[in-house]
Chains A and B, each alone.
Chain A
Amino acid sequence: MRTSICDIVVVGVGGQGVILLSNMIGKAAVKAGYSVRGAETHGMAQRGGSVVNHIRLGCEFGPMVPVGGADVLLAFEPAEALRHAHFLSRDGIVLVNINPILPTTVTTGKARYPALAEILTPLQGLCADIKSIDATELAFKAGNPRTMNVVMLGALSKFIPLREEELIKSLSDSVPAKFLEVNRRAFELGKREVEL
């Protein structure tokens, strides 16, 4: 039996704006009348480490999406998508930014970063669909590389039970007014990317 209406897991690397984005979704969901539960990564793990946030819409239980239960895995970085793939439901989907961020274990030559195909192939067997998005490039196109997370939010908007205007409102409340235009462009580009 389902224990939430929609379970989202957002993963990335410390500094990519995972927490900020999760909060935008959470706030929009509360405005839309859902009971919402979320869990965040703070503290030590944030220093360039692997970050995982959970958002549960229409849920009255714990803040973490149970293993095997995520309807959407929103990944800001490909290796992190695979690292957290155990959260995915068989019927779930993955939205993944295909631009790697190399960990220091790789830059210092102690480990190897796998080719994109090596990451995406095992993911394919685990879920219903994967949408690969060049979100970093789209953020550049929108006018600011730091809006990568908002590109991903735009893409996510097509797969969760929240209306676009609710998410845009939350976005407007979360970013300084002078950055709103570039963020709205980023949202739109992300959304269009998954409509094709």
Chain B
Amino acid sequence: MKEYLLGNAAIARAIIEAGACVVTGYPGTPASEIVEYVAPFSSKYDIHVEWSVNEKAALEVAIGASWAGVRAVAVMKHVGLNVAADPFMTLAYTGVKGGLVVCVSDDPFCHSSQNEQDSRCYARFACVPCLDPADPREARDMCSYAFELSEELELPVLLRPTTRVSHASADVEMGRIEGDRAKAKFLKDPARWVMLPAHARPRHSMLLDKQDAIKTALANVPWNRFVLRGDIGVIASGIAGLYAEEALKQLEVDVSVLRIGTFPPPEGLCSEFLVHVTKVMVIEELEPVLEDYVERLARTYNPDIEILGKRTGHIPREGELDTFIVRNAIADMTAQQSEVVLSLKEAEEILPPRPPSLCPGCSHRATYYAMKKVFGKDAIFPSDIGCYTLAVRMGTIDTCLCMGASITVASGIRFADEERDICCSIGDSTFLHTGLPGLLNAAYNKANITVTVLDNSTTAMTGHQPHPGTGFTASGDETKAVSIEAIAKVLGADFVETVDPYDVNATIECFQMAKDHQGLSVVIAKQLCEITARKTGISRKPYRVNKENCTGCKKCVEFGCPAIEFEEGCARINSLCTGCGVCAQICTSKAIEVLE
């Protein structure tokens, strides 16, 4: 039976069908839905599904399960693999027992990320195989195969979908869910699992020796294949292969095609292809991983071949590709007319920008309003990764580097002897992810800064996943809810206050005390995410503007809530109002009142 499945759902389906016993991850676009799709099956198939506190924890939990002999998966976005890189690199030495798939979604074009790093480089760095699916069907099939390959090689396998695979949908055949699952038994083997130098050295040799076995295993997989036509060729990896195939069909040109779905690429197939062509274009997103490989191979098999790609400027090294870009690149190579985009420049100039913004009624906006009131625009506001980064236009986001970096960057700015006030902000999930060591570091090293935890009791940006502060697990079971306030105190902050950001005066007062405090102060601005509130049935009466009192001062408009508009000299509150009441407190003319 076929179903219309999201790429991430197709991967999740393969994970369930393959009999994985432990599935872990930390939410991150474009990977989040994988764990979410598996979660409802946890009790039926006895799968331990967890949102881990961060990607390092996720991978290590999955490693433990694999070493105990069962199939396991760790899911994360590309930048999550940086957090998990420490276990990932040494895991290649120890290897695995139960099949272990590390599923890492890359995000070319930074649709929802702070960078667009290419995870294939990590696979090469760690000397482990990587599978690069072109679409949801391949993602599904590759995920199933990845467990087998992992067990055959006793190595972790990196499955690397991109945004346009994870968040693409297609008709996908549903498979059978295996009833039998391996029974866990951890076998003690210190030379294998204890990476002391004396054990690590021989394991490194063994990893290098395994490289030939990887090549042999990947030599005949169906995702590497070619069609030989004319003596001009295209070699394309992952989704770029689909763009190339479509472009060639549209252009109706006689070009040979080699599609690659694995790293390392298959030497036999590649060399056969290189011998057949005189000119070749290598098409892949982000880093020239395949292109470098082809360059190296060509020195042996066809030194005179002309190779076009990123090095020659034919294919961009940043952003994502699409059929249009690839079609023009191929047209250029085959001396055909490139297609030009319809010029819409003049039309587009009249369009107002529509950047994503904080929701109407979002408490983060209220927190930042109070923060700015107290600290002023000259203070320094390091921030972090989450919905709140969208508040950049409020002037309270001065830095955003990576998960958890707000507190540490703030500390560094202070230790550099910057004299102005420093108030950083970090979300609740991000604080629990990697903010904790940063706060401990700040306390230990005596950073004189204010840390604001924007606690909306969820991981909002990625789709409202639970975290240790919420009291619920990934599968919806109740669990201990940790107190951010208690954590902040125990990590060494001596000023810790919790405040409701919808109460503007109380929040201003709280920030004032934090600012006056000499040393490390922590303000926890706690209020439910507006989307969660709506879903759980919390409804407040909306507000309206009493035109008689409105002076047109625009204080409320400048607050930036999408529910507040301005027309004919007066503010107006539209139907998006959630009734948070913050604008009514900001208004100095008592013009905003509850709509009865």
Q: Are B565 and A102 in contact (CB under 8 A)?
A: yes
Q: Are A62 and B169 in contact (CB under 8 A)?
A: no
Q: What are the interface flags for B464-498 relative to A under an 8 Å C-beta threshold, 1 for contact and 0 otherwise?
A: 00000000000000000000000000000000000
CA distance A86 to B339 in the complex (A): 13
Q: Does A26 contact B (CB under 8 A)?
A: yes
Which B residues from 236 to 295 make CB contacts under 8 A with A?
239, 242-243, 245-246, 249-250, 252
Which A residues from 27 to 41 make CB contacts under 8 A with B?
27, 29-30, 34-41
Nearest chain B CB to A93 CB, angstrom units = 16
CA distance A79 to B351 in the complex (A): 6
Neighbour of A43 across the interface among B30, B252, B350, B352, CB < 8 A: B30
Contacts of B359 in A (CB 8 A): 47-48
Q: Are A103 and B347 in contact (CB under 8 A)?
A: no
Q: What are the interface flags for B561-579 relative to A under an 8 Å C-beta threshold, 1 for contact and 0 otherwise?
A: 0101110000000000000
Q: Are A37 and B169 in contact (CB under 8 A)?
A: yes
When A68-B341, A79-B354, A108-B558 are in contact, do A27 and B4 touch as well, CB less than 8 Å?
A: yes
Q: Does B168 contact A (CB under 8 A)?
A: yes
Q: Are A62 and B239 in contact (CB under 8 A)?
A: yes
Q: Does A176 contact B (CB under 8 A)?
A: no
Q: Does A106 contact B (CB under 8 A)?
A: yes
Contacts of A143 in B (CB 8 A): none
Most central of B169, B242, B344 by chain A CB within 10 Å: B169
Neighbour of A104 across the interface among B29, B135, B164, B560, CB < 8 A: B560
Q: Does B358 contact A (CB under 8 A)?
A: yes
Neighbour of A39 across the interface among B168, B347, B354, B358, CB < 8 A: B168
Q: Are B252 and A1 in contact (CB under 8 A)?
A: yes
Q: Are B461 and A43 in contact (CB under 8 A)?
A: yes
Q: Are A105 and B355 in contact (CB under 8 A)?
A: yes
Q: Does A17 contact B (CB under 8 A)?
A: no
Binds A, one of B152-160, B307-315, B322-330: B322-330
CA distance A80 to B347 in the complex (A): 12
When A42-B30, A44-B29 are in contact, do A61 and B356 touch as well, CB less than 8 Å?
A: no
Q: Are B353 and A103 in contact (CB under 8 A)?
A: yes
Q: Does A85 contact B (CB under 8 A)?
A: yes
Complex: chain A residue closest to B322, CB-CB: A64
Q: Are B352 and A112 in contact (CB under 8 A)?
A: yes
When A39-B168, A66-B324 are in contact, do A49 and B346 touch as well, CB less than 8 Å?
A: no
Q: Are B245 and A49 in contact (CB under 8 A)?
A: no
Q: Are B29 and A38 in contact (CB under 8 A)?
A: no
The number of chain B residues with a CB under 8 A from chain A is 57
Q: Are B352 and A86 in contact (CB under 8 A)?
A: no
Q: Are B170 and A37 in contact (CB under 8 A)?
A: yes
Complex: chain B residue closest to A54, CB-CB: B168
Q: What are the interface flags for B165-197 relative to A under an 8 Å C-beta threshold, 1 for contact and 0 otherwise?
A: 001111100000000000000000000000000
Q: Are A86 and B344 in contact (CB under 8 A)?
A: yes
Q: Are A114 and B350 in contact (CB under 8 A)?
A: yes
Q: Are A35 and B339 in contact (CB under 8 A)?
A: no
Which B residues from 366 to 410 make CB contacts under 8 A with A?
387, 390
Q: Does B557 contact A (CB under 8 A)?
A: yes
Q: Does B414 contact A (CB under 8 A)?
A: no
Q: Does A111 contact B (CB under 8 A)?
A: yes
Q: Are B3 and A30 in contact (CB under 8 A)?
A: yes
Q: Are A82 and B351 in contact (CB under 8 A)?
A: yes
Q: Are B347 and A67 in contact (CB under 8 A)?
A: no
Contacts of A14 in B (CB 8 A): 356
Contacts of A62 in B (CB 8 A): 135, 164, 168, 239, 242-243, 246, 322-323
Q: Does B210 contact A (CB under 8 A)?
A: no
Q: Are A39 and B164 in contact (CB under 8 A)?
A: yes
Complex: chain A residue closest to B323, CB-CB: A66
Neighbour of B347 across the interface among A30, A85, A102, A108, CB < 8 A: A85
Q: Does B554 contact A (CB under 8 A)?
A: yes
Complex: chain A residue closest to B571, CB-CB: A107
Q: Are B111 and A43 in contact (CB under 8 A)?
A: yes
Contacts of A1 in B (CB 8 A): 249-250, 252
CA distance A79 to B344 in the complex (A): 13
Neighbour of B351 across the interface among A37, A66, A68, A114, CB < 8 A: A114
Contacts of B342 in A (CB 8 A): 68, 85-86, 88, 126
Q: Does B6 contact A (CB under 8 A)?
A: yes
Nearest chain A CB to B463 CB, angstrom units = 8
CA distance A47 to B111 in the complex (A): 13
Q: Are B167 and A39 in contact (CB under 8 A)?
A: yes
Q: Does B357 contact A (CB under 8 A)?
A: yes
When A85-B344, A103-B352, A114-B350 are in contact, do A61 and B169 touch as well, CB less than 8 Å?
A: no
When A29-B4, A47-B358, A68-B339 are in contact, do A83 and B348 touch as well, CB less than 8 Å?
A: yes
When A61-B246, A66-B246, A86-B341 are in contact, do A38 and B347 touch as well, CB less than 8 Å?
A: no
Contacts of B532 in A (CB 8 A): none
Contacts of A46 in B (CB 8 A): 356
Contacts of B246 in A (CB 8 A): 3, 61-62, 66
Contacts of A50 in B (CB 8 A): 354
Q: Are A40 and B167 in contact (CB under 8 A)?
A: yes
Contacts of B4 in A (CB 8 A): 23, 26-27, 29-30, 36, 38
Q: What are the interface flags for A99-141 relative to B under an 8 Å C-beta threshold, 1 for contact and 0 otherwise?
A: 0001111111101111000110011001000000000000000
Q: Are B168 and A109 in contact (CB under 8 A)?
A: no
Q: Are A106 and B167 in contact (CB under 8 A)?
A: no
Complex: chain A residue closest to B565, CB-CB: A107
Q: Does B551 contact A (CB under 8 A)?
A: no
Complex: chain B residue closest to A26, CB-CB: B4
Q: Does A45 contact B (CB under 8 A)?
A: yes
Neighbour of B357 across the interface among A22, A27, A29, A48, CB < 8 A: A48
When A26-B4, A103-B352, A104-B560 are in contact, do A63 and B170 touch as well, CB less than 8 Å?
A: yes
Q: Are A64 and B353 in contact (CB under 8 A)?
A: no
Complex A-B: 12 CB contacts under 8 Å: A3-B249, A34-B171, A40-B6, A47-B359, A49-B355, A61-B242, A67-B322, A85-B342, A85-B347, A86-B341, A105-B354, A109-B554
> Which 4 residue pairs spanning A and B have beta carbons closest together?
A43-B112, A43-B29, A49-B356, A111-B352
